[in-house]
Structure 1
């Protein structure tokens, strides 16, 4: 993976990597009124984060192996 990450996508993936985030928290924290800034959707489309359902927690967003590699490649 030699792709240079969009800085906001990289920030988002790093934020999620700290701990899996509830879907509602992701939406509330990373929502934008600008349709050209789709940070968390871009991260999901690129395979850096994924939706998972965990018993007792519900729908969460977690970093994938590709997301972990992205952080490592970019020194985070």
Structure 2
């Protein structure tokens, strides 16, 4: 596992912190087929994000206290508009 506070992992945590996200939305934006790019897995393994399940709601993703602490240590504000990941269509253009 890479450092759980790497720049891309913090980008993901910051993006999730900006507003409630469904698991499907996070997977669509952040999933990768590259085995060397493990942003989602690193965020989970580092305890920065958790999957959530509420009755009647789609599965979600939330930032943990450790995730908010990591953002603060990096000088990132979870209240600031997070950078939106590039869509796959834009990335392949």
Aligned to 1:21: 21
CA distance in 1, matches of 2:19, 2:4: 24
Give structure 1 regions of 4+ aligned residues with deviation exceeding 6 angstroms: none
Equivalent residue for 1:50? 50
Q: Quote the RMSD (CA, aligned, Å).
A: 1.5
Report the CA distance between 1:9 and its aligned residue. Answer: 0.2
Shift of 1:57: 2.0
Query: How many pairs were matched up?
Result: 74
| 2:90 corresponds to | none
In the other structure, the counterpart of 1:34 is 34
Q: How far off its partner does 1:72 sit?
A: 0.6
Structure 1, unaligned runs of 5 or more = none
Superposition TM-score, scaled by structure 2 size: 0.73
Q: In structure 1, how many angstroms separate the alpha carbons of the residues matched to 2:62 and 2:4?
A: 21
More strand by share: 1
Runs of 5+ consecutive residues of structure 2 not aligned to the other structure: 77-93
**Match in the other structure for 2:88:** none
Query: What is the TM-score normalised by the length of structure 1?
Result: 0.88
Measured after TM superposition, the shift of residue 55 of structure 1 is 2.8
**Based on CA coordinates, which of the two structures has the bigger radius of gyration?**
2
